[in-house]
Every structure is written in structure tokens, then in C-alpha cells.
Structure 1
């Protein structure tokens, strides 16, 4: 559905998108992640035809995308990070106005506006002006505008920034529903890793304008050098176990704190059950343990050296 081929964009001497290539299949939700300045917003602006790339190609539904490609742009829906609404108009009027920009009219336009308002959970607020809406409700209408023409490709640029939990949940469930019911392809940028974990089929991680990792969450975790964590509580015996435990295959690092032991475990080198058996063999009397597999946040931190919100 979407293919970026060697996309490049620079300002003066600074390259902000550097040879970016990736594919998003039909009905796939792709998370586009990166620390601030990674090139995400520029990439989204190029896909949206707001900016023109210096080089490279974009293909949407097997059609080459150009700034003048009106037919291609009609199958895309864009939800910008900044709200694009007429606050003096009602929710219904906003949807109908933007619907006309996609060539919709008459009963088709009115019926679709009602459908979108119901989809966004705001039909009962249809005659209220946008200026009376909460921030979360405005975000939902902002997304509704992008859905008026039933796009095959939906670009969402941080759609849940600064909104209430109810609206955030509604947007996330709507995105899932679009994939499930209509096979919509979604490009989703966010600063909330839990949204990526919940929504996305594949994740593209950018840094300094380059694509540094792309795959499913499981593929990224498997290829990562980040380690799982095994936390143990045990009966104190006065013995020192650190040196012997460090020899067990799969244990990369040990931290002790009184009667607790925290282990960094390489799952490629050792099985957690075998590690626990070896620890018991050393005479450690375990009272509890907790095993945490490496998560996407840790993979991201390892790859970029920054947290997602940096």
C-alpha cells in the first residue's frame, strides 16, 4: 500500500531524512518512532505532499505520489499534530466542509458526516460548536475529518497528545477498528510506547534521519542485544553467591541488594528454568522470582541512546 524508496530531504547542509526506505502492507498498522529530531515529522510531511523530497520516490497503492497527484491524495487521510478545525463551526459543519474538499456533496456528504460522528462517539454533540469541545473531543473530530472520504491510507501524527484517557482510548480503538473492518493501512507516530505496543503490527525506528530498525515487535526484541531481567528474593544464609552465580550460562550481570538478586539474562544463551535450577543447586533458597522479557522501550533506548520522549 505504501512504499518509500531512498527518500532524502535536507535543509541547507543538514540532512533530516537520509535515504529512507520502507514498506507498509495493506491493512497494516506501522508505528513510526524516533527521538525528537529523528526526521519523523518531515517524513510524514513528505508522504502528505506538504513537503517535496530532494530525492527518492513514494508509491501509494501502486501509484507514484507527486505533489500534483490529486487522485493518489484522495485515497489518503491525514491527521496532523496541530488541530485543523474551524472552532466557530459545529462538529457537523466541520465534517461537511472538509468533506466537500474531497468532492463529496448532497446526501452522500451528510450521511457520511453522521457515520463519522457516530464512529468518533460524538453524534450527540453534532450541533455544538468546536470551541465548546474539550481537547480530547477536538482531537476526535480532527481524526474524523481525515476519515470522511474512507481513505485506504491513514497518516496519524501524534493524535493523542495531551488528551483525556477516554478520548485516547476511543482513538486507539477506532484505529484498530479501521484495520479490522476496512483493511485501512495506518502510519502512526507517537511519543507513547504503550500505544505502539497495543496497536502496531510493525515498528520503524528512525534516528538522525535514518531508518535504524524495522520489523515486528518480536523481531526487534529478538534481534536486539538488550537483555531480560530476572529478579529473585531468597532466604538469607550469610553466604555470598555472586561469584558462583555469574558462571551460570545466560547470566550477563548480577546486582545484589540484601536478600534480593537482580540478574540480566541473555535468552539466547540460557533458559530461565535452567538458570533457576542452577541457582537452587548453589544452595539459594528462593522465596519468589519475577521474569521480565525485554520490551520495546528498552530496545528503543538501546538503538537510539534516548528514551522515546527525549
Structure 2
């Protein structure tokens, strides 16, 4: 899509035009750092803006604005080898975003970042998408990142497309299970009295996983009595049988792992 490799066959289209005839409109953030040790952080951004068609004066002005916005002012005159890994990653992302392109391709943009930096980068990407009305195609192994940033998600396993749709659509269609996570002082007592005797899941199939001596998790298939389960769990908490609980739909992460597990068993 970005022109690094030539396809054996086929063509990729965007807005009715082949990507091969639309390369100038594409900005790309690779997974590896692609920086020059001869240029400072500021000069990298300034150069890419200049190559994009901005005048030298405007390139300097916009580069300063982006550096301030990304809290990189203290690093602007440093060479790449003087920057931390996280700051170099920020610079790569900033190079892709600074030119206000309508088409941006990002390969694992937040890979290797600490949690606080990762969330900060996500905010920058979201702001860019909203302010510039950019279309971003992103590859990632983080379902948290995909769910937060993407309107449509495609899950691929071993090079084959398994599903495509909004995060909500994928979870509803392929994550037809619910997770009951219970904290209790007596796991066996809770299981026997609530799960077995009161049949909280009725006829729905479930699996049990003991997380510790005071925590147990149940995965429930296709339950339609959600309000009934909440009523019983609140009653258990009021009676002191449990200390806390959560009941939620299967996460996008679990859907992804299920696809990967099924593929490995094929």
C-alpha cells in the first residue's frame, strides 16, 4: 500500500483511485525508527513539511507548533541518538501526522511504549483524525488501541481475514459470551449455593476458572437473563457472600484470542 513492496497481483483503491497513482497523498509511520543522525528532532519535522510543499517560513512555524503540542520542546535540538526510544517513536509518529494528510498508514504506532506515553500518543492520533478529517489505516496487536482509535476493525490470523466491522458489531457477532468475575471469601460455598443450587445461569453453558482462593471467573454462553443475574449478585453482596463482582460482555481482546486459538487448532 505504501509502495515499499510491489504486489504480485491485484490493486488497492482509495476514493476510486489506485494507491499506486495516489502515493503523494499518503503519510506512513513504519514500525521501525527511520531517522537520520545528521538532523535534529526539529529539522526532521521541518524537512518533511518542506518536502510536502510548505514554504521554509511556514515549515518552521508549523514544526514549532507541533513540537510544543507534543511536549517535545526540550528535545528539539537533540540528535536521534540522544533521544530515548519513546521520544524517537513520538518523532516518527509526528512526522506522519504533521503534514495534515487525508491518508495516513501506521504500523504498530505505540509498540514498545510505556502506558502513559501510549495513552498520550493515542490522544494525539485522535485529535489529528478529528481536526484534519484524516483516514488512518493502522496495524496493531493491541485490541485496546484498536477499540479506542478505530471505527472499523479487521482481524487477520495467519494472513487470512476473519472478520471486519465496528468494535461493537464484532463483539456482538463473535463474542457471544459473558464474563462473571466474583470476589468472595469462600469460592466453593458461592459456587454450590449460587451457581449450582440457584442455577443463576439457568440452562446456559458455562465454564469455571478459579483465579485464586478468593476469586472465581465464569464464562457464560448466550445468556438472556442479564437483569436476573445482576439481581442475584446484588443480593449476594448485601448478604455478605461476595465482596465484589463484575459482569460484562467478552472483550475484543478475547474475540481476537479466540480467532487465534481456533486457527492454531485447524
TM range (shorter): 0.7 to 0.9
- Show the counterpart of 2:105: 155
Q: CA deviation at 1:231?
A: 3.6
1:48 to 2:6 alignment: no
Superposed, 1:221-300 pairs within 5 Å as: 221-232=171-182, 233=184, 236=189, 245=199, 248-254=202-208, 262-266=217-221, 268-275=222-229, 287-288=241-242, 289-300=245-256
Change (3 A) 1:99 1:270: same
Distance 1:185 1:294 in 2: 28
Superposed, 1:118-137 pairs within 5 Å as: 118-137=68-87
User: Would you say the 8 A contact 2:175–2:249 is kept in 1?
Assistant: no
| Most deviating of 128-137 and 171-180 | 128-137
Change (3 A) 1:265 1:238: closer
- Runs of at least 5 residues in structure 1 that lack an aligned partner in the other structure: 1-46
1:63 to 2:13 alignment: no
User: Would you say the 8 A contact 1:91–1:126 is kept in 2?
Assistant: yes
- CA displacement 1:248-299 (0-9 Å, x = unmatched): 1334335679887643223x43222224667999xxx772343132001110
Change (3 A) 1:286 1:273: farther
Q: Which has the higher helix share?
A: 2
User: Would you say the 8 A contact 1:230–1:292 is kept in 2?
Assistant: yes
Q: Secondary structure of the equivalent of 1:305?
A: helix
- Show the counterpart of 2:257: 301
| Most deviating of 192-201 and 152-161 | 192-201
- CA displacement 1:218-259 (0-9 Å, x = unmatched): 111111155212244487499676655287133433567988
User: Would you say the 8 A contact 1:77–1:153 is kept in 2?
Assistant: yes
TM-score for the superposition, normalised by structure 1:
0.70
Instruction: Count the aligned residue pairs.
Output: 253
1:198 to 2:152 alignment: no
Distance 1:136 1:260 in 2: 36
User: Would you say the 8 A contact 2:41–2:79 is kept in 1?
Assistant: yes
- Show the counterpart of 2:123: 173
- Runs of at least 5 residues in structure 2 that lack an aligned partner in the other structure: none
| Most deviating of 77-86 and 247-256 | 247-256
1:74 to 2:29 alignment: no
User: Would you say the 8 A contact 2:201–2:220 is kept in 1?
Assistant: no
Aligned CA-pair RMSD: 3.2
- Show the counterpart of 1:117: 67
Superposed, 1:19-58 pairs within 5 Å as: 47-58=1-12
User: Would you say the 8 A contact 1:137–1:167 is kept in 2?
Assistant: no
Distance 1:180 1:121 in 2: 20
User: Would you say the 8 A contact 1:78–1:154 is kept in 2?
Assistant: yes
